[in-house]
Chain A
Amino acid sequence: MSVEPLLEVRNLRVEFPTRRGTLVAVDDISFSIAPGEVLGVVGESGAGKSLTGAAIIGLLEPPGRVAGGEIRLDGKRIDNLPYEAMRRIRGREIGAIFQDPLTSLNPLYTVGRQLTETILTHLDVDEAEARARAIKLLQDVGIPAAERRIDHYPHQFSGGMRQRVVIALALCANPRLIVADEPTTALDVSIQAQIITLIKRLCRDHGASVMLVTHDMGVIAETADRVAVMYAGRIAEIGPVRDVIKRAKHPYTEGLMGSIPKLGGSETKLAQIDGAMPRLTAIPKGCAFNPRCPKVFGRCREERPEPIQVGDTKVACWLYDSANKAAAE
């Protein structure tokens, strides 16, 4: 990639100290997001995708902490900033959208008050201007009669409308990166597509990059430019979305793709990956996927695979190591 990345995550490690030892929830992952790019992050629950998002916006819940690696925004490190400096970045440079629109808004304030509060915190404008901006934002996210609706309370909006308000809140200081953590999971299927289209359109209009965390491959296929597949705290495969979906390289990604039902497909039975993702307390030696992998061989049980460049994709699998290619085939 020739463009300077907007966000660069290098060897990020997120740990949870517990009484029975330290849990490594995100283990040595690296990726970058270019300006205007949409990066999808998929994986099963517990794979560490939401924690990666939380680490980027600097809101890991204690005792969780960034234990290693670095996060750079525009080349400047942001993972070790003091709270106040990071607060100025949140909302202003990095916006966040959470999973559940029903609980993301404070029930006691009008949506207008929550919008203007955020705008006034980050931008040098007066009340009237902030309010005008808030109305404009509500119109942008497709809320009808925004001039009137701005004085309504969250409970007066439906779930889909509330997620639109949440998106307006995330965008209200024109951040350059949006971290969207399962933005459609809590919504009706019929609304999901609308919200995804909206996020995509707005981010294109505002020139914002998106890190889209989801477990829904369909959403990724529709929205993302590139996709990172996470498994047990690591990135199994990262690359352009077409390559990953059509020509999955990591056996885990293959399994993931096989488990999506296809319309009009002749197969009656869905493929499934046997077993379950290991607990953080019992991650196997070598490749974390090896106990479930249909193509497992000796080295997988011994050594942890590092990401290997294959075409435009990076894949952490020994199958693609030149020394083992022969052995695998």
Chain B
Amino acid sequence: MIAFVIRRLLQAVLVMLAVGFVAFSLFAYVGDPVAIMLGQDFTQEARDRLIRELGLDQPFVVQYFRFVLAAAQGEFGISYRLARPVTDLLVERLPATLELSLCAAAIALFVGVPLGVYTGLKRDTWGSRFLLTVSLVGVSLPTFLIGILLILVFSVMLGWLPSFGRGTVVQLGWWSTGFLTGSGLRALILPSITLALFQLTLIMRLVRSEMLEVLRTDYIKFARARGLRNRAVNFGHALKNTLVPVITITGLQLGGIIAFAIVTETVFQWPGMGFLFIQSVQAADIPVMSAYLVMIAFFFVVINLVVDLLYYAVDPRLRIDKGAAGGHGH
């Protein structure tokens, strides 16, 4: 178990180094930071001095190493566009994105799993046929279209919910939260539904097909043959066996939700990291882009690690150290 965690941590470090390399390469190959910083008029002398000051005359490997060292300490330089430290910009925007993503993930999970179980158990009812058909829409409609449709119906036509922004936020230390005010909560509804819908239908379809698979197994038949109550068979035995793939997908989707909040945040003018990223792309603001890249990769790596650890909690076959397994003879 400990060896496993250490191995996964080493792999995570490797992944982060590779992503760091890509993020670092952005500086070298997308635009010339020196030209951007010097502006229109400069002398060769000023240029050389800046290059020396920035350490750009150093070998590539040394530069990369310094970049990694700084990044590990949360230091990503200064935004070209806003002339503020990138880290501060991201930290400011982080709560907005995380609150939105967590709401969306919660909706996807707490609606998706029960619907999946329902459609798996009551396979041939009108209810599940209807849900499956609707879920096709959820899978195939692009996020921005769903967002715009929701805005059209609930903000423009009905006027129930705000169409953009976070509403009123409350500062808790450095964390700004929209959970504590009515307008903050109301502002969360449409974007989190928009962001959740795709994942929700995905989870529902996944749980359904896993349920169908598990319900066919011998141990479910045997559980029924032992006369266990339906609830115990369906939820105690069947649902728990569907959890490993569901945890995997949900975990990866959570990373995806954070990363792809870009579209939703843009549609709803949500002041999160994704919106910041889009604005940075338009301005070719490389430090923000590369920091965003590293940060999203970091989320994915952490989530993957957590998912792997959850397997251990769910599946005893992984938990047993090899010495004790294998069983005794006959």
Closest 10 pairs (CB-CB, A-B): A91-B227, A90-B227, A96-B225, A103-B218, A91-B226, A153-B316, A158-B327, A104-B222, A106-B219, A160-B330
Binary contact track A143-174/B, C-beta < 8 Å → 1, others 0? 01000000001011110110000100110010
A98-B229 in contact given A155-B325, A194-B330 (Cβ < 8 Å):
no
Tell me which residues across on chain B come within 8 A of A296, comparing CB atoms.
none
A121-B229 in contact given A59-B221, A108-B316 (Cβ < 8 Å):
yes
A121-B237 in contact given A98-B221, A153-B317 (Cβ < 8 Å):
no
A96-B222 in contact given A106-B241, A158-B327, A161-B327 (Cβ < 8 Å):
yes
Q: Judging by beta carbons under 8 Å apart, are B320 and A169 in contact?
A: no
Q: Which of B230, B317, B328, B330 has the most A CB atoms < 10 Å from its CB? A: B330
Is residue B326 contacting chain A, with contact meaning CB distance below 8 A? yes
Shortest A172–chain B CB gap in Å is 8
A87-B327 in contact given A98-B218, A103-B218, A156-B320 (Cβ < 8 Å):
no
Q: Judging by beta carbons under 8 Å apart, are B217 and A57 in contact?
A: no
Shortest A174–chain B CB gap in Å is 13
Is residue B324 contacting chain A, with contact meaning CB distance below 8 A? yes
Given the complex of chains A and B, what is the CA–CA distance between A98 and B219 in angstroms?
A: 9
Q: Judging by beta carbons under 8 Å apart, are A117 and B330 in contact?
A: no
Residues of A76-124 whose CB lies within 8 A of B = 83, 87-92, 95-96, 98, 100, 103-110, 117-118, 121-122
Q: Judging by beta carbons under 8 Å apart, are A57 and B326 in contact?
A: no
Is residue A260 contacting chain B, with contact meaning CB distance below 8 A? no
A92-B227 in contact given A106-B241, A108-B316, A156-B326 (Cβ < 8 Å):
yes
Q: Judging by beta carbons under 8 Å apart, are A121 and B330 in contact?
A: no
Given the complex of chains A and B, what is the CA–CA distance between A326 and B104 in angstroms?
A: 84
27 A-B pairs with CB atoms under 8 Å apart are: A57-B225, A59-B224, A59-B225, A83-B230, A87-B229, A90-B225, A91-B225, A91-B228, A95-B226, A96-B222, A96-B225, A100-B218, A107-B219, A107-B241, A107-B315, A107-B316, A108-B315, A117-B232, A117-B236, A118-B227, A118-B228, A153-B316, A156-B320, A161-B327, A161-B328, A161-B330, A173-B227
Shortest B231–chain A CB gap in Å is 11
Given the complex of chains A and B, what is the CA–CA distance between A57 and B223 in angstroms?
A: 12
Binding site for A on B (CB under 8 A): 217-219, 221-230, 232, 236-237, 240-241, 314-317, 320, 324-330
Tell me which residues across on chain B come within 8 A of A59, comparing CB atoms.
221, 224-225
Given the complex of chains A and B, what is the CA–CA distance between A92 and B226 in angstroms?
A: 8
Residues of A170-193 whose CB lies within 8 A of B = 170, 173, 190-191
Contact partner, A156, options B217, B222, B224, B324, Cβ 8 Å: B324
Tell me which residues across on chain A come within 8 A of B329, comparing CB atoms.
158
Query: Interface size class for chain A?
Result: 35 or more
Tell me which residues across on chain B come within 8 A of A88, comparing CB atoms.
227
Q: Judging by beta carbons under 8 Å apart, are B219 and A104 in contact?
A: yes
Given the complex of chains A and B, what is the CA–CA distance between A155 and B314 in angstroms?
A: 15
Known: A157-B327, A161-B327. 17 other contacts (CB 8 A): A59-B224, A103-B217, A103-B219, A105-B222, A107-B219, A107-B317, A109-B237, A117-B232, A118-B226, A153-B316, A153-B317, A160-B330, A161-B330, A169-B222, A169-B226, A170-B225, A191-B330
Given the complex of chains A and B, what is the CA–CA distance between A107 and B222 in angstroms?
A: 13
Tell me the nearest residue of chain B to A99, going by C-beta.
Answer: B218
Given the complex of chains A and B, what is the CA–CA distance between A190 and B330 in angstroms?
A: 10
Tell me the nearest residue of chain B to A144, going by C-beta.
Answer: B328
Given the complex of chains A and B, what is the CA–CA distance between A58 and B194 in angstroms?
A: 46
Given the complex of chains A and B, what is the CA–CA distance between A91 and B324 in angstroms?
A: 32
Q: Judging by beta carbons under 8 Å apart, are A153 and B320 in contact?
A: yes
Given the complex of chains A and B, what is the CA–CA distance between A153 and B225 in angstroms?
A: 20
Tell me which residues across on chain B come within 8 A of A169, comparing CB atoms.
222, 226
Contact partner, A158, options B222, B226, B240, B328, Cβ 8 Å: B328
Contact partner, A108, options B225, B226, B240, B328, Cβ 8 Å: B240
Shortest B311–chain A CB gap in Å is 12
Tell me which residues across on chain A come within 8 A of B236, comparing CB atoms.
117
Given the complex of chains A and B, what is the CA–CA distance between A191 and B327 in angstroms?
A: 15
Given the complex of chains A and B, what is the CA–CA distance between A109 and B232 in angstroms?
A: 13
Tell me the nearest residue of chain B to A96, going by C-beta.
Answer: B225
Tell me which residues across on chain A come within 8 A of B320, comparing CB atoms.
153, 155-156
Shortest A134–chain B CB gap in Å is 13
Tell me which residues across on chain B come within 8 A of A105, comparing CB atoms.
219, 222
Given the complex of chains A and B, what is the CA–CA distance between A216 and B253 in angstroms?
A: 51
A156-B325 in contact given A59-B221, A98-B218, A104-B219 (Cβ < 8 Å):
yes
